Structure 1
């Protein structure tokens, strides 16, 4: 944050001065008043800021707004509005108290937009990278119905569960990714350093090498001769794949492939269904029109393949079909979800049942992640066994032949 130099008088009338880090001079004045100091002069210390303060300011300006920042913002707005604090005063308080300079700048921008006569929805819509369409649509409903504080509470709860779901998916994919990467690195090192040593030993004997050994030596010779090209190819392929996944077509195909990965795909699928159910429940409970809500939910599931199916549901609902019938037509949702939607439509409580579905799948994801190691170990053991078996055949078969030759002699 910027560093400000201040002069003032305390409650005894004594002159005081010092330095304070804050977002703006107004924030400095508020801090001084809260501490019992009446500010007389507040000035920015440009040029006097030390190297460490400059580094801190640089990092603060480049900080990203995370989901945790949005959760804190939503919960604090709910608390302040519930206490009867006017929205402009609430925003000023959050602006002065937030530790993330990027978030503070967004709050300042929202305050300035409100000063010009815009409503909160329009002010937030100016920051699409910070506030998602689901967030903005719910704020719009809250402003229209006069239930803004309840909407902020619903958003805080939704974002907290969303963060838990994303963290669960990262946890589920981190372990197998690390293990598989370690295996391939080990194979690369064995080809580069271990097998050439055995190849030199075997080269001194006049025996016919087994096919497995010839394949290993040929693979090792290729790795030793072209290891630079192999590394360049692997790194280039990684960045090319990463770029392709960020394109609309690549993201769609990757999101579809993720659902079919053994063990991991099931967890990602359940987590996405839980996200869909909770987003739909939140939108319906907030009073967002169903067609508009389905469009927003399709963007909130964070999976383009399932998002495309939700858009198909929206198109079916626009034609007059029921939610359950359109969900069944996509072939994407299990009978549990379809049945709960059908019961909810009959009883008029789709939002409550969708909350139940979301809770069910989130518990399933937590259970699957806790048992992930037990589920994935057989696959990794089989893979490792095949690798070790091939290496053992290639390394020890020539030794067996040497023993046979020695016995005959």
Structure 2
């Protein structure tokens, strides 16, 4: 069907414009009247979405991205509107008008146009994978099928809030050690490039044999100054190569598996990912999604490829008729306590409640690990700093002490 650009006024007299798909201008006018918009002008157009083709290159480059917070607030607002009995088309129109993020306002406008064209809400959202992930789409689809769309949106709001809070706490905990490590690297570069050469000039005037530690520091400094272009090129090549390697299926799988084995951060990543899995799985089951489909959707939304593969193996086991407890045991990613809770939940028919308990347990463990992260990393940083200061002190001050001692003897 052709597309028509329209201009109209809503009930408050505000100007509304966009693009709708329809058999003819009359059908588009009927769609507008149905959403409370009085059309002023309707004309045939070749654009498939409003506001995107006419934007300048600068506007497209500087356009604010849609964040998870935008989707979270949308979920809560659309739940409130649907629960109050507001038709979804009118609700989307109101949310579009009040949206502070213009990019998300465009998404809402496209959702309205897609619904006007006869698409389902989940199908309309599927056109925007940058905003709505596979789990979100699956849950909306279940809400449409069961007639509990407003309830699904409320649960999605809670789910996104939990996910954002978990990620924010991990980033906050890693901020301090990351800053210290970067500061140490910068300090080592400054010492090698500017500080040691100044002492080297002074040591040359002593005409004495320098200690091994001093010679090592001078050699390292000269090598760094002469070979820094190669260092920079090698670092850039390593970074680009690593990004390309992790972009492959096998590379990402190996890297995500390695992340889980890191000494301190690995257990935090593992527990945080499993907390999100348990929360998502519980939400899917409680919303009426079949277990096999729920495992498949949750596996797709996992941000760790290795754990996602393990969850997929659980799904395949359930498809073969195995129990969830057996497949979870074979996955080898759950602790014995969690496996026991899964078994109890499966036997009692309250797996969703038990998965919520598992999510809360993992969340408490992650919270404890994050609170003690600084105390775990600080000894390592202190030892490293101590070794670096000791090497610098011995390398720089030993020749000065030797000269001073020789001068006192004479």
Matched, 1:194 2:189: no
Check whether the contact 1:341–1:354 (CA below 8 A) recurs between aligned residues.
yes
Q: Deviation digits for residues 36-83 of structure 1, max 9, x if unmatched? A: xxx9989xxxxxxxxxxx99x937972211101111111111101101
Residues 244 and 196 (structure 1), Cα distance of their counterparts in 2 relative to 1, 3 Å cut: same
Worse overlay, 96-105 or 64-73: 96-105
State the distance in 2 between where 1:61 and 1:84 align. 37
Distance 2:67 2:82 in 1: 23
Higher mean C-alpha displacement, 241-250 vs 312-321: 241-250
Consecutive unaligned residues of structure 2, counting only runs of 5 or more, are 1-6, 20-37, 42-54
Question: What corresponds to 1:357 in structure 2?
Answer: 358
Instruction: Tell me the alpha carbon deviations over residues 117-141 of structure 1, each in whole angstroms, 9 at most, x when there is no partner.
Output: 2221222222222211111111111
Q: Does 2:146 correspond to 1:163?
A: no
Task: Tell me the equivalent position of 2:345.
Answer: 344
SS at structure 1 position matched to 2:209: coil
Residue 272 (structure 1) shift: 0.9
Give the aligned partner of residue 98 of structure 1.
99
- Contact 1:81/1:87 (8 A) holds in 2: yes
Inter-CA distance 281–256: structure 2 relative to 1 (3 Å threshold): same
Pair 1:144 & 2:145 matched: yes
Instruction: Decide whether the 8 Å contact of 2:260 with 2:266 is kept in 1.
Output: yes
SS in 2 for 1:313: helix
Q: Aligned residue pairs: how many? A: 373
The answer for the alignment partner of 2:134 in structure 1 is 133
Tell me, what secondary structure is at the counterpart of 1:84?
Answer: coil
* Separation of aligned partners in 2, 1:296 and 1:212: 58
CA shift digits 1:363-400 (9 cap, x unpaired):
32223323322222111101111111222222223234
2:109 is aligned to 108
Alignment pair present for 1:212 and 2:205 = no
Aligned equivalents of 2:177, 2:39: Cα separation in 1: 61
C-alpha displacement of 1:235: 3.7
Aligned 1:226-237 pairs, distance under 5 A: 226-237=227-238
Assess if the C-alpha contact under 8 Å between 1:172 and 1:264 holds in 2: no
TM-score by length of 2: 0.83
CA distance in 1, matches of 2:255, 2:100: 36
Query: Helix, strand or coil for the counterpart of 1:24?
Result: strand
C-alpha RMSD over aligned residues: 2.9
Q: Is the 8 A contact 1:23 1:96 kept in 2?
A: no
TM, length-normalised to structure 1: 0.83
Q: In structure 1, the residue corresponding to 2:289 is in which secondary structure?
A: coil
How do residues 18-167 of structure 1 correspond to structure 2 at under 5 angstroms? 24=17, 58=59, 62-167=63-168
For structure 1, which segment, 59-68 or 315-324, has the greater mean C-alpha deviation from structure 2 after superposition?
Answer: 59-68
**Which residue matches 1:370?**
371
Query: Comparing 320-329 with 236-245, which one deviates more in the overlay?
Result: 236-245
